[in-house]
Structure 1
Amino acid sequence: MTRYARPKTLDEALALLDEGAWRVVAGATDFYPALGSKPLQEDILDINGLAELRGLRENPGHIVIGARTSWTDIHDTELPPAFAALQQAAREIGAIQIQNVATVAGNLCNASPAADGVPPLMTLDAEVELQSSSGSRALPLHAFILGNRRTARLPNELVTAVRIPKAATAGRSAFVKLGARRYLVISIAMAAARLALDGNGRIAQAAIAVGACSAVAQRLRKLEAALVDQPAGAVTEIAASISFDELAPIDDVRGSAGYRREAAREIVIRALLAATAETNRRAAA
């Protein structure tokens, strides 16, 4: 017989996780559709009673996003311009009804290669905070998502927050998603780019990530390195000349590997141009 628990405190939730295997749910926007008409066969730990896991806060080193924070919360909160890509992605994750209940941590724990929230968070050097009854730890996002539907979360751990180092909040970002339509669709490819310019219009920081073109979203480190110290107006030429060999796209019903690779380059350029244009506009204002 399956069990259902809705703890009211974090300590209670962690104690329950020590008892055995639970399926942790919050928005459950992926869990229940995947279940379909099949009966529940897992014990369900509903964390929607944990008020302390929702919302955004700030500490000396980080901007902290609670695990239960919804995509509507992300979109509607006033955040630095570096979060623009994350806020743009928040409005393209399902319909409004999904955005109202789906959570940031759920998007990460589901570990889909096409999770829209992952590339923008990667450009912010996001860290995943995990807690158990014996303590807490933080992992870089790229070390938390291990592959398709696989994460580094241990059975007795709960994702409690996503932390953004303040050092990664410089500049402006943009998000571009390619799909059969804009909403209610799984991405063929997606890209997020964050650029910070110096006083001379040269790129001081560059962070670029592509999703749905590998088992896990990937930072384009070669392109990032090539962009630093270059004039903002050179982003198209540089992005067109750099190999995107960090990506490993597959053929599926949404597109071939070759199409995805070429599409990734195009949407990366569009994201870079959008981030550059907005950064320049703000500097001139």
Structure 2
Amino acid sequence: MTRYARPTTLDEALALLGEGAWRVVAGATDFYPALGSSPIRQDMLDINSIAELRGIAGTEAHLVIGARTTWTEVRRAPLPPAFDALKQAAREVGSVQIQNVASVAGNLCNASPAADGVPALMVLDAEVELRSSLATRHLALPDFILGNRRTALRPGEMVTAVRVPKAATGGRSAFLKLGARRYLVISIAMVAARVTLDRDGRIEAAAVAVGACSAAAQRLRVLEAELQGKRPDDIEDVVARAPLDELSPIDDVRGSAHYRRSAAREIVARALLAAAADPQRRAAA
């Protein structure tokens, strides 16, 4: 017989995790549809009543997003412009009803190659806080998501927060997603970009991440280095020449590998241009 527990404190949840193989659920917007008509065969640990896992707070060095924070809460939070991509991605996570219950940590733990929140968090250099009853550790997002539906979670651990270094909250960001229709769509390709300009209007730093074009979202480190010192008017030329070797798209029902690579190049350029645009011009657009 399967068990169901709904602890009200994090300590209680971690103690339960240390006793057996529980499936941690929050919004469960991926878990229940994946079951189909099959019965639940795992012990369920529901973290929805743990208040300390919800909300966004600041520390001296980080902005901390609690694991149970929903995408609607992210979208409504007063965050710096560097988080614009994350807010735009939040609008793309399923329907409004799903955004109201789906959690940030759940999007990461599901580890889909097309998880909307991952590229936007990657350009913020986000790291995942993992806790068990014995220890706490922090992993950079690329070290946590290991591949399609694979993470670095250990037995007895759960994600308790996503931490964004304040050093990575400069500049502005943008998120673009390409799909077969406008709403409720799994991505063919998606891009998040964050750009910081210097006083002369040149690119001081750029961060670019592409999702749905590899087993896990990828930062385009070579392109980021090429963009340093360039002007926003140079972005399209730099992207056109970039090899994008970090990407390894596949052929599937949503698009061919060739199409995905071509589409990714185009929306990388568009996302970078949007992130580098003058704020007043962006507001007018």
Which TM-score tier does this pair reach, normalised by the shorter chain? Answer: over 0.9
**Does the residue aligned with 2:277 lie in a helix, a strand or coil?**
helix
Q: Distance in 1 between matches of 2:278 and 2:100?
A: 28
Q: Percent identity?
A: 71
CA contact (8 A) 1:113 1:216 kept: yes
Deviation string 1:144-176 (CA, Å, 9 cap, x unpaired) is 000110100112011000000001000000000
**Does the residue aligned with 1:159 lie in a helix, a strand or coil?**
strand
Deviation string 1:112-161 (CA, Å, 9 cap, x unpaired) is 00000000000000000011111201000000000110100112011000
Q: Equivalent residue for 1:218?
A: 218
Pairwise CA distance, 1:280: 7.4
Q: Distance in 2 between matches of 1:161 and 1:183?
A: 28
Q: Equivalent residue for 1:48?
A: 48
Give the paired residue count: 282
Are 2:239 and 1:239 equivalent residues in the alignment?
A: yes
Deviation string 1:229-263 (CA, Å, 9 cap, x unpaired) is 11121111101111011000000000000000000
Gaps of 5+ in 2: none
Pairwise CA distance, 1:181: 1.3
Aligned AA (2:277)? A
Aligned AA (2:135)? G
**Does the residue aligned with 1:161 lie in a helix, a strand or coil?**
strand
**Does the residue aligned with 2:268 lie in a helix, a strand or coil?**
helix
Q: Equivalent residue for 1:26?
A: 26
Q: Distance in 2 between matches of 1:88 and 1:129?
A: 23
Are 2:240 and 1:250 equivalent residues in the alignment?
A: no
Gaps of 5+ in 1: none
CA contact (8 A) 1:171 1:279 kept: no
Q: Distance in 1 between matches of 2:244 and 2:78?
A: 33
Deviation string 1:80-132 (CA, Å, 9 cap, x unpaired) is 00000000000011000000000000000000000000000000000000111
Given the two structures, how large is their TM-score scaled by the length of structure 2? 0.97
Q: Equivalent residue for 1:228?
A: 228
CA contact (8 A) 1:197 1:279 kept: no
Q: Equivalent residue for 1:138?
A: 138
CA contact (8 A) 1:172 1:278 kept: no
CA contact (8 A) 1:24 1:44 kept: yes
Pairwise CA distance, 1:78: 1.0
Q: Equivalent residue for 2:263?
A: 263
Aligned AA (2:205)? Q
Q: Distance in 1 between matches of 2:278 and 2:86?
A: 15
Q: Equivalent residue for 2:73?
A: 73
Segments of 4+ moved more than 2 angstroms? 278-282
Aligned AA (2:137)? R
Cα-Cα RMSD: 1.0
